[in-house]
Amino acid sequence: MQKHSEWVDKVKDTWALEHGIPVIRIWEHDINDNPSKVVQILRENLKAYREKYEKEQKRKQRGKIKQ
């Protein structure tokens, strides 16, 4: 059963990343036992993703201006 679950996760991860969707996996027990840590992880990941997105948008804008 575990191998099937790992395979499904890989398929989902691959699809999401190919479509520019970041994947963050969090265990249920972490949500229940340490929700503040989970919030911190989510904030850090969202900040990093936002910075990457904004940098990409600026790069695209510079490309449009040069054309």
Q: What single-letter amino acid sits at 53?
A: Y
Give me the pLDDT at residue 66, please.
57
Q: pTM of the predicted model, to two decimals?
A: 0.66
What would the pLDDT profile of 24-41 be if each residue is shown by its tens digit?
Answer: 999 999 999 999 999 999
CA 17 to chain centre: 8
Contact by Cβ (8 Å): 37, 30:
yes
- Per-residue pLDDT band for 44 (boundaries 50, 70, 90) equals very high
What would the pLDDT profile of 53-62 be if each residue is shown by its tens digit?
Answer: 899 999 989 8
Mean pLDDT of 40-61: 93
- Per-residue pLDDT band for 4 (boundaries 50, 70, 90) equals confident
Q: How many residues does the chain have?
A: 67
